[in-house]
Structure 1
Amino acid sequence: MQYFNLRRFAVLLVILSGTSTLLAADAELAKHITVPTDWKGEQISLPPSFAREMKFKGLEEARFSPGMFQEKSNTFFSYFFVFKIDPGSELTQKNIERELLTYYQGLSRTIFNSRKAKVDTSGFSCELKKVVPVDAQKIYPEGLTEYSATVKWIEPFVTQKPQTLHLIIQVWTDKTTKDGYLFACVSPQEMKAEIWQSMQNIRDSFYRSLQK
């Protein structure tokens, strides 16, 4: 797996050290993710070191667009992640809102702290709205639920300014293993932007691979 050679991303890797090693036993999820060569990524444990208060346990695979840390890029802070969640966690709307809010609060706080700066995360928010999934290709896992979401937070890596992230979230539970899955596409771009189609294509490829 390749990584950004950007200083900002190196800071994140240091923060995640000790939890970001790709273990052989955890390679199963990663093998289903295919991205262009200029998309980089990481695997971390859940709960992550920057948000120990999260209740979900398992692992996260994240992949970052080429412009992830470039403020002027039309793919700035655009990425997707997949949570594989150990059996026993309920993937309800309330629980997902709680977990993602905790995730983004912890991430922002940790990055600001690494710069010896303070951030007030009390005003951060995460709101989900259930929507009807459009599965024209019939590739979505059985029982999948889709949400449109908005996260309002302070972006810590580049701008250190308030940012609104849009998310398309899909969740389901594997009928055999009982593992929970959460696939989220994330971007501050409007939904008509090209990056959303790019992430949808990657997501579709992921679902097709799961079926093999």
Structure 2
Amino acid sequence: MCLKKVLSVCLLLLSFAVKGFSQETLNNNYELPTPENWRTETFDLPAPFAADIPFKGTEHIRFSPGWRQKQAEDYWTYCFLWAINSQVSFTKTNLEQYLNNYYTGLVKANLAQAKIDTTIAIPVKVKLNSSRKSKTDIQAFNGQVEMLDYMTQDPIKLNLLIHIKKPKQGTNSSAVYFEVSPKPYDHKVWIKLDEFDQAIK
């Protein structure tokens, strides 16, 4: 991928962070750690590219060092936390729909920013299954997103681990933590992503 397109993608993500950030709506009830060399972004929910998501809050993102480097073992490996300003009930069905809307909008927005015809985007497919939950989860899911990799314009399959967190005492908020990577679940990249889950404050 040419440098110009890579820069366009980065500028688009930065613009989402700048436009979406609002001190009034920033949800500080939950925090993700910030490891060295991991890039961070924070913006309001719903994200500008997924306005149909029906709740408000803050999205915190952590990108692995090799997130946009095609040959890196942690390519497309990242995590994000939805810190929501109200109590929200999640099901397999509504999470699949939210993620379908989210990744459909993300792909098209990045293609448009790079001046690439958005009609090349393949339909996003999301499939989730119930998974073993940790002691800090209400529910947990694993699954997969099939979509167009907007950085290479090739199809990609992203594996997911999703944690619906127990609400913090004394708060009227919800949190959902997403681990994302194309690597199989036995790859070492998931160790780092799991460490984020254990460190959520």
TM-score range, shorter chain: 0.7 to 0.9
What are the within-5 Å matches in structure 2 for residues 71-150 of structure 1? 71-120=70-119, 121=121, 123-133=123-133, 135=134, 140-141=135-136, 144-150=138-144
Aligned partners of 1:68 and 1:79 also within 8 Å: yes
- Does residue 168 (structure 1) correspond to residue 161 (structure 2)? The answer is yes
Structure 2 equivalent of residue 3 of structure 1: none
CA drift of 1:15 comes to: 4.4
- Deviations along 1:138-179, one digit per CA (max 9) or x if unpaired, are xx33x52110021111111x2111110001000135153231
Deviation at 1:94, TM superposition (A): 1.3
Measured after TM superposition, the shift of residue 27 of structure 1 is 6.6
The DSSP-based 3-state class of the residue aligned with 1:197 is helix
State which drifts further: 120-129 or 89-98: 120-129
Shift of 1:87: 1.7
| Aligned equivalent of 2:175 | 181
The alignment's TM-score, normalised by the length of structure 1, stands at: 0.82
C-alpha distance in 2 between matches for 1:167 and 1:119: 25
Residue 28 (structure 2) aligns with: 28
- Cα distance in 1, alignment partners of residues 73 and 35 from structure 2: 17
> Residues 110 and 200 from structure 1, CA distance in 2 versus in 1: closer, same or farther, beyond 3 angstroms?
same
Deviation by residue 1:99-155 (Cα, 9 ceiling, x = unmatched): 11100000001111112222345621111100122x4xxxx33x5211002111111
Q: 1:25 deviation in Å?
A: 6.9
- Judged with a 3 Å threshold, the aligned counterparts in structure 2 of structure 1 residues 34 and 106 are, in CA distance, closer, same or farther, namely same
Cα gap change, 1:15/1:82 in structure 2, threshold over 3 Å: closer, same or farther? closer
Q: CA RMSD in A?
A: 2.1
Contact 2:161–2:179, Cα closer than 8 Å, also in 1? yes
Match of 2:3 in 1: none
Q: Partners of 1:122 and 1:65 in 2: how far apart?
A: 25
Distance (whole Å) between structure 2 residues aligned to residue 129 and residue 107 of structure 1: 23
Kindly state the Cα deviation for residue 193 of structure 1 after the two structures are TM-superposed: 1.1
TM-score (norm 2): 0.86
What is the deviation of 1:42?
Answer: 0.6
How far apart, CA to CA, are the structure 1 residues paired with 2:195 and 2:115? 39
Percent same amino acid among aligned pairs?
23
1:61 match: 60
1:191 and 2:185 matched: yes
C-alpha separation in 2, matches of 1:101 and 1:27: 24
Across the two proteins, how many residue pairs are aligned to each other? 193
Residue 29 of structure 1, CA deviation: 4.6
Change in CA separation of 1:29 and 1:87 when aligned onto 2, cut-off 3 Å: closer
Q: How does 1:35-50 map to 2 (within 5 A)?
A: 35-50=34-49
Gaps of 5+ in 2: 1-5
